[in-house]
Chain A
Amino acid sequence: MIKPLLARLQQKHRTVSFPKGTPVLPERFRGRPVVDSSKCATGCKLCVDSCPIGAIKKEKNALSIDLGKCLFCAQCEGNCSCGAIKFSREYRLAARTKKDLLLNGQEMKLAEALDKRMKKLFGRSLKLRQVSAGGCNACEADTNVLGTVVYDLGRFGVQFVASPRHADGLLITGPVTENMKLALEKTYDAVPDPKITIAVGTCAISGGPYIDLPRVNNGADKIIPVDLYIPGCPPHPLTILDGLLRLLGRIK
């Protein structure tokens, strides 16, 4: 019995102080892109052409980048010689509507909390069922990580449960493959009302790298209503946690 106790001491306390402390992100972390159309050279479309997904639009010299499609590969940044697109280390990316995911140089409107009634129901206890619908297991893995001692999701009253019938909502990953469409619909129906849906990762928001392929549905909101979008390919665990806590009104 002494061995596990000694091991426990050796392994130390590891839970991050989030949301109180300042999170430590790697130096090369690619977070929210910052768009500055004023730096953009007239007639140049290198960023638009380099994007694998078509997440960047340039209309009348006004650049915009759709976080719901962005793979954070930074090809655009690499190809831009004017510095009009730069990836920052900002990890806060979650939004309530797809419109809020369009970045055009304005301050991003981060996710607002649920309305009063829903917040009263779920604000201190939210049980989620996870459905992977064509996800590559990266979004799944970095959602799973929230359950480790590092993030300790349980301390916020959020928990992943084994059945949709025990859940208050769904957390969906993946572009929703044709073969998972029915299962997703059935799982959604099995969650008792009122319920919420969270789309995690670029695939679940727009189809991600698989956008417009014949075997996928370009994201969860093509099938069921979505209340929170958390972009990233995959989103950093802190991005997911930040999104969940914003939805619950625990971070403002």
Chain B
Amino acid sequence: MPAANAISLYNCQAVDTKRIPVAGITEFRNFVIEAAKSGKRIVSLFASPSSPQQVRLFAVLADDNAGNLSVLSSDVSDKYPSLTPDCPQAHLFEREIAEQWDVVPQGHPWLKPVRFHHSYSTGRDNKKEEPILPSVMDFFKVEGEEIHEVAVGPVHAGIIEPGHFRFQCFGENVLNLEISLGYQHRGVERAMIGGPDKRTLHYMETLAGDTSIGHTTAYCQLAESLSGSNVSPRAQSLRGIALELERLANHTGDLGALAGDIGYLPTSSFCGRIRGDFLNMTALICGSRFGRGLVIPGGVGFDVNKQHSDTLTEKLARALKDVNVAADLLWNTSSVLARFEETGVVQPEICKELGLVGIPARASGVEIDCRFNFPAGIYRFAQIPISGWHTGDVFARAYVRWLEVQRSIDFINDQLNTLPEGQIKTNIKPALPGKFCVSLVEGWRGEICHVGLTGPDGRLSHYKIVDPSFHNWTGLAMAMRNQQISDFPLCNKSFNLSYCGYDL
């Protein structure tokens, strides 16, 4: 098997970049394709310039059962044979590589822009003068007498982020949904290069503002590994509490929003308020409802004293009771179940083939969760069982959220009861030069992957972020196949993906 020469890593294990084998493109292709066939997932596939004429492709594959990552690289110039025809998981990664570096994956069946910007490679992109307009591209089109097209966005009807959705419909039925994003593209990955600096942590906090804790934890773990620094058990525990509070707030909000989308107002109203209670618990710890300033390199910015801990325990108990009452209404109301069940089904085979992560994967019976498969920080000591369901519909995605709410509350209570003594932060050393590290965190949406490379000066020479939304937007498109277009808001909410996390 050609996989033999890939390097094997654990989550947050830094290695010398030069130890990552550089294979020929054929060997590289075979490795990724075979690994995907044997059930591994692509957690990241990106390119970084290796010489003025070449870029180096890095493939990071996860073996969920073994809990390890294998990494292989390959140098390519302006083109290479696309992986996507043999490995659909690679489709969006390859589109991203093509857009960022002007390297053509030949034979890619769906080669379109991802974020609508000029390529980063100097000299190769001759069209730099021409402006690139978002969503100006060839959309997949269905033709026929009674076919019609519906275009929605970028500005939507609610208070949400911008994105463009193009539906091909036959009557009320959606034959295909194509999602075109990039409106939120701020250039975060490029801004990370040469860091860390004063702004680095703020980029991470606002990468996806509803996932501040998830992304800052991924970054801080990475920065700590790259510098060989250790974080105190107390800080690890507080990071875990913060991550689960973030999950609680968002899951509860989603249960309410799902109820709102089908016009079931009791749960919608209750959960809208309870979500705020969870956000306020995060604010109790750090002053910010979104956990700004809480997770910092070397530990956490705020400690929790006995009084905070008691208040949190009491508030959690009340919130659990309230959210249970609100959610029970959903599971016991036939008109709710009629809308949730068998709507927007994603089959487990599709999940695996496309490499979906997080809630949509677990709701289709694909049991993956970084907290369990790739534990880092506190999750190495306190494991949370994977919550799953098997039906792959809106109901399953709602139900998994509810299961996770209960487990997160148990976890926080356990942590508060057994909070280790000690410091909350240590000064971390500067990052070591020439290192490569992958950091995985199970954010509330799913797997967050950050990959950092340091240059000879120890500064970041490349930074790659994969928000769970990057994997999962295609899952939403698949869930909409042969659904009524009127079910789109419901299906969309059941995924609740990030635009800015995808657009970076």
Binding site for B on A (CB under 8 A): 3-4, 7-8, 10-11, 14, 26-30, 50-53, 71-75, 129-145, 147-150, 160, 162-164, 174-175, 177-180, 182-183, 187, 203, 208-210, 213-216, 233-234, 236
Contact = CB atoms under 8 A, between A and B. Distances in A.
A15 B359 CA distance: 32
Contact of B187 (A74, A143, A214): A214
Interface of B: 115-117, 133-134, 154-155, 157-162, 182-187, 191, 198-199, 202-203, 205-210, 212, 266, 269-270, 272-273, 275-276, 280, 283-290, 292-293, 302, 322, 325-326, 328-329, 332-333, 498-500
Given A137-B210, A142-B289, A149 B269 contact: yes
In the complex, which of the residues B161, B292, B332 has the most CB atoms of chain A within 10 Å of its own CB atom?
B161
A236 B187 CA distance: 26
B273 A140 contact: no
User: B interface, by DSSP: helix, strand, loop or mixed?
Assistant: loop
Contact of A183 (B155, B159, B212): B155
Contacts of B207: 136
Nearest to A207: B186
A134 B283 contact: no
B132 to A, nearest CB: 9
Nearest to A184: B155
A175 B186 contact: yes
Contacts of A11: 269-270, 273, 322, 325-326
Given A140-B160, A140-B161, A162-B157, A7 B326 contact: yes
B266 A8 contact: yes
Contacts of B183: 133-134, 177, 179-180, 183
A10 to B, nearest CB: 5
A135 B209 contact: yes
B203 to A, nearest CB: 6
Given A10-B325, A30-B288, A137 B498 contact: yes
Given A180-B183, A210-B186, A138 B158 contact: no
Given A30-B287, A137-B209, A138-B209, A132 B161 contact: yes
Contacts of A183: 154-155, 162, 183
Nearest to B212: A138
Given A28-B302, A234-B209, 15 more contacts: A3-B329, A10-B322, A28-B284, A52-B202, A73-B293, A130-B158, A135-B184, A140-B159, A148-B273, A163-B157, A177-B185, A187-B155, A210-B203, A213-B186, A234-B290
Contacts of A178: 117, 185
Contacts of B325: 7, 10-11
Contact of B273 (A74, A149, A160): A149
A222 to B, nearest CB: 15
